[in-house]
Structure 1
């Protein structure tokens, strides 16, 4: 699409008395930029940067209304009036740039962090949200009344803080939806037993919100489909919303999908790159068609403004939300308005730095945007006087090397980037050739485009040795060398057994119509990352019988649950077998012996035609070691997998850090870690 196709999306629109400069909004998404359940300056700066980037409306992440919903201390809550000043600071940071700000209010219900608060989670009943999780407390009438009052009080505080409105979360399997859904609400009292009984709690919450914060613009967020057997369906939700909008002056309905449940449903909530673009857009379209009088806000795995504009053009939504794309590039809207849409850093929908870190109770980050969560610090760095110009050589053209070269150039240095291969990208370019992982290639495309637009001397097909950089060598004269040479794949042979392929050989074989990887393939997974999971899925789709063997007790342990639940659903359909807490002990012909890592018991897999070894990679750090050992070499820095094999998230961050802080990257890391 051209920039003219998004003109309606970028035109002003009004939701009742709330006037917005465009139809693009940032939907609520957890950041973990709180402290003691209150917003911090870090959160204000994060949202302020997206407001500066031109978005029309920002909805905060869920603000918990009562301590029984409290997450860990880095989540947000509003339990008393002492929280108001901190929220005022967030409102000022956003509204200063002409963006409106709504507070999303919720109670998470049965999935509240009981291990963090040492209190029971509250729910309509006693069924946990997933196997192995806490048993919730079934709420009594006093509990229900307490939470109802808490919603109203939180809305009142948001009005005091200067917010432009609130969004009451009725979706995603949180507490209000737990009452609405026959899947979770099996009560027989006045709060269950019938659709009207299940709706009672939501009615009471909205009544209290409008009573305690009269005149405050109020919308609702819903899940159109719970994707659960016996759960709420799109027609059910349309009926519920139609009842509520007739009884309350609702500003809009924000249409999402899924429930917080340990099944495929949760895997759709933050749909990753394995899902189709806008796969769930029909949900918003249904509400727009059935309840035309109520403005509809849509979210559904949209990656770009043209994709969002398509929903508005088709009259399927009034506003369209882009959360992860705004994490990746806070200036998404401004770049389009300035006629620079090709300068946007693309969201990969990888769920690695955002969702993956949330699951580890860490603040969000982003693979393609190393500055997420440290917007103030990076802004201060750019405002500082430039450092003395240095001649910098970056060796390696993967994500770490490209980020290092760009950062050093921005810092005012003379930069050369040497890549031994004929193209930039490193191993992420290889990963992007695996079916279903193609979107990873956007990172390479974006970084290469930025390099081409700057005065960086990029040399492809040039291998660099330590001798080249020593006095008198052909590359003598550089002040700094950034080593970003990546890692080599791990590989363990099985003498007398089936042929063994490392991960790079496997990816290459996937593109070979005469691939030797046919029949029955055993995938050894010592990492628990997408490396093994993606090739296993790709092989299975080619008709290969796949067995995955891992010494760990958890399948794909480094893939976020939000992606894993969809992944395991697909793998189950493909017939992939998993063997956890198993290692390969021996092999003979087409027989592979597996050993139980707990008790040592062995078992045999027969008919194995090949083994894919996704073992631990080894840092390719020879150049770094040789230069570091010399006193007459340029100053050397090592980043990415050459430093220690990890992921593109760490590679990009370390590259930008090294290029920015050539004089002292350790000090730079300390500075940017201090982001409270």
Structure 2
């Protein structure tokens, strides 16, 4: 174990609470709640990460008042009846040797008023994004209600057995809405000067200290709002310094961004396009400016090794790994045991975590489909059954199916038509900005080979081969193929696979490229960006009223900025037809108006793919055939990995899989 890693995994105290190491799981929304209370899924989820060796877990935001409740699947702490459910989480985490702090907050203006038919509350009547509801500008009576709610929530968390509290004053939530001159236009004692804007946070901390004096209290802040006229690191350091003089802060947890419909929000869940640890410098600024105050760092830190770097360099005292712990709950234990090479890495795709949160669904993970169903999957893995499985296809679904079946005790053979494994993920990872996605299949391949699974590449399976194998179960993970719709008499048309070869090749790209984005997927978006980065004039054309609709808002806001930087033209509510060999015409289906695009060297058809399922229909007489991933229906890697694991671990290993499948669907 290296010196930096040893330091990161060494014991430390935070606010008097002993922690077994300096790595923590920061608060992140799970959507596992019911009627704004935690469920057994929360307890199982956090217990698994505590079992994986982390020192501290900070809960997702616990809303202190019904005006912040939003969806019923979020967490709230509005009355004493919620205490037992929170105690169950604390007990589960403590049983596995980790400490747990409760993060308490009020979302303010971005609370979902539609869910409760009530107005959201904020410092001023300013919506968080274009088209969002205008919030209610809080009266002094409302402010008093919220302050008391923070105090009451703190007392309940104390009674539930939590080790500490984190007051959320960042991410553009209510306290930050009062702190920031961008969102606070008040003229009373809570607005105007910096001291007045700080008043609500001071009152909240006072209430929390009075009702739960035995608990250490930390503060989460956004170092930079990334908004014109907004809070910058120097401003926030002054805020924390002022609060530190008045309150015994246990730590400051340094994040960034505002909940605002702009690039700022994209930084809060920085995806793979941001590169390595893009905001690590923020924590160091606070640590240098506020000596003696423990500083917690967070955001797009992808591994225990990176956490160790920050601690060794003196930039932070503790480091938070949120998405990495979603992807691999045991990454700390693996590092401590010298097994970092076995870690399943977060690919920072935002598909299963924040992408599902945005859809009001429980989180999952492209890399780890067991998220939120840890107890059910533990039961599945505990049962081993002999037998043989043939997996056809070496993309994410096939690789995952092979591993899952092997772990259940099956003898597995995997055949892949191409000369290498990885499928379409390996292809997508060639596109600049999407390289990290390749970790998914590279690590799956690593684990498949380490398990000793028989792998035969360059073998195209047909019905005769499948029957000759005489496997007890067959998993078809043959993927999908792109569709190319020609434009007769028009410019040459490339499907998405051909477009990747073109933009990633050494030859010059066409001067003008039109991309037909019928699906709103990353395929069209990443190709548009890649062609533009190589100097092409790119026109992204969507027949719908939005673009990149399948890309989560958190990533799309960053994508929008990059489109702007690269000069990508976006045409919404437009259809494409050819005029001549280098001209296409865009038609507005509403008005019938047309717009020509001339000099077009290529049109990329990013329409829907089609399943490569011919082999399935040839095996109608084979009893146990299971289909996974795009061969089932063209979707994303999230579904492919999930269906692969289900196929290998459940369908191909359970004589009666229905009870398990029902449990997994809940």
Listed as ranges, the matches of 1:634-673 within 5 Å are 634-661=623-650, 662=652, 663-664=655-656, 667-673=659-665
1:575 is aligned to 567
Listed as ranges, the matches of 1:512-591 within 5 Å are 512-515=505-508, 517-591=509-583
2:409 is aligned to 412
1:459 is aligned to 456
1:621 is aligned to 613
1:213 is aligned to 212
- Return the alpha-carbon distance in structure 2 between the equivalents of residues 4 and 358 of structure 1: 38
Q: How far off its partner does 1:300 sit? A: 2.8
After TM superposition, where is structure 1 displaced by more than 2 Å over at least 4 residues in a row?
Answer: 2-5, 467-470, 597-603, 663-669
- Return the alpha-carbon distance in structure 2 between the equivalents of residues 127 and 178 of structure 1: 10
Q: Is 1:509 matched up with 2:506?
A: no
Q: Is 1:422 matched up with 2:419?
A: yes
1:593 is aligned to 585
Cα RMSD for the two superposed structures? 1.1
Is the contact made by 1:105 and 1:167 (CA closer than 8 Å) also made in structure 2?
A: yes
In the alignment of these two chains, the number of paired residues is 663
Q: Is 1:498 matched up with 2:491?
A: yes
Is the contact made by 1:658 and 1:665 (CA closer than 8 Å) also made in structure 2?
A: no
- Return the alpha-carbon distance in structure 1 between the equivalents of residues 590 and 641 of structure 2: 37
Which of 478, 481, 492 lines up with 2:471 in the alignment?
478
Is the contact made by 1:3 and 1:336 (CA closer than 8 Å) also made in structure 2?
A: no
Q: How far off its partner does 1:649 sit? A: 0.4
Q: How far off its partner does 1:21 sit? A: 0.4
Q: Is 1:66 matched up with 2:65?
A: yes
2:267 is aligned to 268
What's the CA shift string for 1:26-84, capped at 9, x where partnerless? 00000001110000000110000000000000000000000000021110000011100
Q: TM-score, normalised by structure 1?
A: 0.97
- Return the alpha-carbon distance in structure 2 between the equivalents of residues 132 and 548 of structure 1: 24
Structure-2 change in CA distance of 1:666 and 1:509 (3 Å): farther
Is the contact made by 1:3 and 1:339 (CA closer than 8 Å) also made in structure 2?
A: no
2:390 is aligned to 393
Q: How far off its partner does 1:381 sit? A: 1.8
Instruction: Tell me the SS of whatever aligns to 1:203.
Output: helix
- Return the alpha-carbon distance in structure 1 between the equivalents of residues 466 and 33 of structure 2: 47
Q: How far off its partner does 1:383 sit? A: 2.7
Q: How far off its partner does 1:186 sit? A: 0.8
- Return the alpha-carbon distance in structure 1 between the equivalents of residues 231 and 656 of structure 2: 55
Listed as ranges, the matches of 1:374-393 within 5 Å are 374-384=373-383, 386-387=384-385, 389-393=386-390
- Return the alpha-carbon distance in structure 1 between the equivalents of residues 555 and 469 of structure 2: 47
What's the CA shift string for 1:513-532, capped at 9, x where partnerless? 214x3201001111111101
> Mind listing any 5+ residue stretches in structure 1 that lack a counterpart?
none
- Return the alpha-carbon distance in structure 1 between the equivalents of residues 623 and 146 of structure 2: 63
What's the CA shift string for 1:484-519, capped at 9, x where partnerless? 00000011111111111110001111222214x320
Which is worse superposed, 90-99 or 603-612? 603-612
Structure-2 change in CA distance of 1:10 and 1:237 (3 Å): same
- Return the alpha-carbon distance in structure 1 between the equivalents of residues 246 and 447 of structure 2: 53
- Return the alpha-carbon distance in structure 2 between the equivalents of residues 457 and 137 of structure 1: 63
What's the CA shift string for 1:289-344, capped at 9, x where partnerless? 00012100001311011111111111010000000000000001000111111000
Is the contact made by 2:56 and 2:99 (CA closer than 8 Å) also made in structure 1?
A: yes
- Return the alpha-carbon distance in structure 2 between the equivalents of residues 293 and 637 of structure 1: 58
Is the contact made by 2:510 and 2:600 (CA closer than 8 Å) also made in structure 1?
A: no
- Return the alpha-carbon distance in structure 1 between the equivalents of residues 306 and 605 of structure 2: 39
Is the contact made by 1:657 and 1:668 (CA closer than 8 Å) also made in structure 2?
A: no
1:324 is aligned to 323
Which is worse superposed, 152-161 or 598-607? 598-607
- Return the alpha-carbon distance in structure 1 between the equivalents of residues 2 and 33 of structure 2: 37
What's the CA shift string for 1:438-495, capped at 9, x where partnerless? 001111111011111113111111111012233xxxx242221111000000111111
Is the contact made by 1:106 and 1:169 (CA closer than 8 Å) also made in structure 2?
A: yes
Is the contact made by 2:480 and 2:634 (CA closer than 8 Å) also made in structure 1?
A: yes
2:429 is aligned to 432
Structure-2 change in CA distance of 1:283 and 1:106 (3 Å): same
Q: How far off its partner does 1:634 sit? A: 4.7
1:247 is aligned to 246
- Return the alpha-carbon distance in structure 2 between the equivalents of residues 601 and 668 of structure 1: 54
- Return the alpha-carbon distance in structure 2 between the equivalents of residues 477 and 278 of structure 1: 49
Which is worse superposed, 590-599 or 158-167? 590-599
Listed as ranges, the matches of 1:138-157 within 5 Å are 138-157=137-156
- Return the alpha-carbon distance in structure 2 between the equivalents of residues 68 and 130 of structure 1: 19
Listed as ranges, the matches of 1:270-289 within 5 Å are 270-289=269-288
- Return the alpha-carbon distance in structure 1 between the equivalents of residues 441 and 72 of structure 2: 36
Instruction: Tell me the SS of whatever aligns to 2:587.
Output: strand
Q: How far off its partner does 1:412 sit? A: 1.1
- Return the alpha-carbon distance in structure 1 between the equivalents of residues 542 and 610 of structure 2: 19
2:85 is aligned to 86
Is the contact made by 2:390 and 2:469 (CA closer than 8 Å) also made in structure 1?
A: no
- Return the alpha-carbon distance in structure 2 between the equivalents of residues 604 and 351 of structure 1: 36
> Mind listing any 5+ residue stretches in structure 2 that lack a counterpart?
none
Which is worse superposed, 270-279 or 52-61? 270-279
Instruction: Tell me the SS of whatever aligns to 2:273.
Output: coil
Listed as ranges, the matches of 1:102-121 within 5 Å are 102-121=101-120
- Return the alpha-carbon distance in structure 2 between the equivalents of residues 291 and 226 of structure 1: 20
Structure-2 change in CA distance of 1:406 and 1:3 (3 Å): farther
Which is worse superposed, 475-484 or 551-560? 475-484
- Return the alpha-carbon distance in structure 2 between the equivalents of residues 124 and 322 of structure 1: 31
2:196 is aligned to 197
- Return the alpha-carbon distance in structure 1 between the equivalents of residues 117 and 644 of structure 2: 40
What's the CA shift string for 1:414-455, capped at 9, x where partnerless? 110000101110000000000000001111111011111113
